[in-house]
Structure 1
């Protein structure tokens, strides 16, 4: 079993690689090789099988052809530019999020090997006039360029699977928190930074009110679900290859209370409340009444509590003192 993770240098890609390394097999076969590809050199991962790291720009079809080869059995397509970046730079969003996805799928079609392709979509596909509750069969009505590009990616996954070019599955990810590392250009970045930075003894800014509701999943659970997602049988998935990955809804006040319940009151004192209209303009169009009935029936899971999200960060990612 040869696995390629495109976006293997990112938070989710690294978590996924570690999960696969620990598991040692996928789809009933031992893993013989895993390739981590990204626009910058991914960090290596220790594993009982061969792990290679390389650079890949999915906006460049020739670069994609270098990493998607005839012996690639499973492709995780995680690479993308994030929401605020895609909104600011429409051309970059189209080249990477849309045409990058197309380049990967076209490479698979040209090889004729029908690999499993696991595509990470987003809850940003929901919005506008779509009626609550939202879920697997909600008609996408995204209100951002990023959401639109991800919705098109879902349609491509469906059609390339229908034609037999790939065995695709697309998962609409909740907001992943608490993410390690530094803030990125995602509009949702503050949903990690208001927890991560205080847990690390640093100040953070919250740009929305405490009653702001959102749909969350921890990085650890996301990686676990992506492993399970690759192993799903195509017949069980059905004709619609896109589905919502499970998450849970919490308010900003609730996630801060969860942090306080785990580590005490001091970190929350480092949060500064400061409205940011440019962030609010994006996140106000996001929806949170979301249900993941199909994925849950197929064995994917949400976190039991947001306290777990905090504990996972402390166990997996908090920098050493």
Structure 2
């Protein structure tokens, strides 16, 4: 039996694959003996149980070649990120929407409905929202990326209702601190204002200091994605979408943590220069959520942002 992870060469996908291999199947998680990483590049995890296949998830033939009858679960992480999807509408639609449906249709033809974990985003939200946003509020995305993710959520819920897949949609908080270099995501700065200063590099924040963000550490997001694959589908009670628990912090509060944990010199390396393109996208996202349902389902939450900064420093020997 095997798992398929789309986007397996990326930061999140590779870390998910590595964690699944190191800890094995958790209680309730489908038993598997191998993992297929599907991406535009090889998976960096070197393990005989991992097979990297290179291709585009919008390609029907490619998808059908990896979604074979022995697939017990799919983690759909591949996506064109927010800023890039906004700049290139056709690319975002091809990958984020057409690719998701192509993958679901391939799963629909399997002899047994697989667990299907879809990584969604806070970008599905927009417009006037309550202070604490629940799982079941109507979504009103303010970007092409958000619209594509919202449609993907509906597809996973409907394919689950029909019994084609055993789906669960995880709306991921902004992941902080991501290692590596900045990318085209509108939220990329949230890691950059911590990662770069701790590495001795200056960073520019494109949104106001009072901007409130919903964030989670990489380790907690990975643990929650794995948990999503372990939860029995009936526990979602017909609504397969859950806002993953996170921390509600302002940029100013993040920088206060940076100074407490990383020192004044690190904090001094962060400046502000507003970017309307990024700001307009980010300010449409909610900054706090009612996560009582997610916590009742067993999803976990980081303790505080200081611990998130410390974890990053520990992981990278800073």
Whether TM-score is above 0.5 comes out as yes
Q: Which residue of 2 aligns with 1:275?
A: 274
Could you tell me whether the CA contact under 8 Å between 1:44 and 1:52 is conserved in 2? Answer: no
Once residues 255 and 202 of structure 1 are traced to their aligned partners in structure 2, the CA distance between those partners, rounded to angstroms, is: 17
Pairwise CA distance, 1:143: 0.9
Greater Cα shift, 236-245 or 287-296: 287-296
Once residues 248 and 190 of structure 2 are traced to their aligned partners in structure 1, the CA distance between those partners, rounded to angstroms, is: 13
Q: Which residue of 1 aligns with 2:309?
A: 310
Once residues 58 and 246 of structure 1 are traced to their aligned partners in structure 2, the CA distance between those partners, rounded to angstroms, is: 29
User: What's the TM-score, normalizing by structure 1?
Assistant: 0.94
Secondary structure in structure 1 of the residue aligned to 2:71: coil
The equivalences for 1:198-277 within 5 A come to 198-277=197-276
Pairwise CA distance, 1:29: 5.6
Once residues 67 and 55 of structure 2 are traced to their aligned partners in structure 1, the CA distance between those partners, rounded to angstroms, is: 10
Secondary structure in structure 2 of the residue aligned to 1:12: helix
Q: Which residue of 1 aligns with 2:9?
A: 9
Once residues 171 and 199 of structure 2 are traced to their aligned partners in structure 1, the CA distance between those partners, rounded to angstroms, is: 29
Once the two structures are superposed, residues 268-306 of structure 1 have per-residue CA deviations (whole angstroms, 9 ceiling, x without a partner) of: 111122121221122122221322222110110111011
Could you tell me whether the CA contact under 8 Å between 2:258 and 2:306 is conserved in 1? Answer: yes
Alignment of 1:52 with 2:40, yes or no, is: no
Secondary structure in structure 1 of the residue aligned to 2:117: strand
Q: Which residue of 2 aligns with 1:64?
A: 63
Q: Which residue of 1 aligns with 2:19?
A: 19
Q: Which residue of 1 aligns with 2:181?
A: 182
Once residues 250 and 211 of structure 1 are traced to their aligned partners in structure 2, the CA distance between those partners, rounded to angstroms, is: 9
Once residues 273 and 212 of structure 1 are traced to their aligned partners in structure 2, the CA distance between those partners, rounded to angstroms, is: 12
Secondary structure in structure 2 of the residue aligned to 1:289: coil
Gapped runs of 5+ residues in structure 1? none
Q: Which residue of 1 aligns with 2:36?
A: 35
Alignment of 1:125 with 2:124, yes or no, is: yes
Pairwise CA distance, 1:130: 4.0
- What is the root-mean-square deviation of aligned Cα atoms in Å? 1.6
Once residues 228 and 110 of structure 1 are traced to their aligned partners in structure 2, the CA distance between those partners, rounded to angstroms, is: 25
Greater Cα shift, 107-116 or 237-246: 107-116
Once residues 288 and 238 of structure 2 are traced to their aligned partners in structure 1, the CA distance between those partners, rounded to angstroms, is: 24
Once residues 131 and 118 of structure 1 are traced to their aligned partners in structure 2, the CA distance between those partners, rounded to angstroms, is: 27
Could you tell me whether the CA contact under 8 Å between 2:39 and 2:56 is conserved in 1? Answer: yes
Could you tell me whether the CA contact under 8 Å between 2:30 and 2:230 is conserved in 1? Answer: no
Once residues 313 and 68 of structure 2 are traced to their aligned partners in structure 1, the CA distance between those partners, rounded to angstroms, is: 38
Once residues 312 and 92 of structure 1 are traced to their aligned partners in structure 2, the CA distance between those partners, rounded to angstroms, is: 35
Pairwise CA distance, 1:263: 2.2
Once the two structures are superposed, residues 14-55 of structure 1 have per-residue CA deviations (whole angstroms, 9 ceiling, x without a partner) of: 221122122111435653111222111121244xx7122221
Once residues 15 and 302 of structure 1 are traced to their aligned partners in structure 2, the CA distance between those partners, rounded to angstroms, is: 18
Gapped runs of 5+ residues in structure 2? none
Could you tell me whether the CA contact under 8 Å between 1:136 and 1:293 is conserved in 2? Answer: no
Pairwise CA distance, 1:176: 0.7
Closer/same/farther in 2, CA of residues 14 and 162 from structure 1, 3 Å limit: same
Pairwise CA distance, 1:113: 2.4
Greater Cα shift, 155-164 or 59-68: 59-68
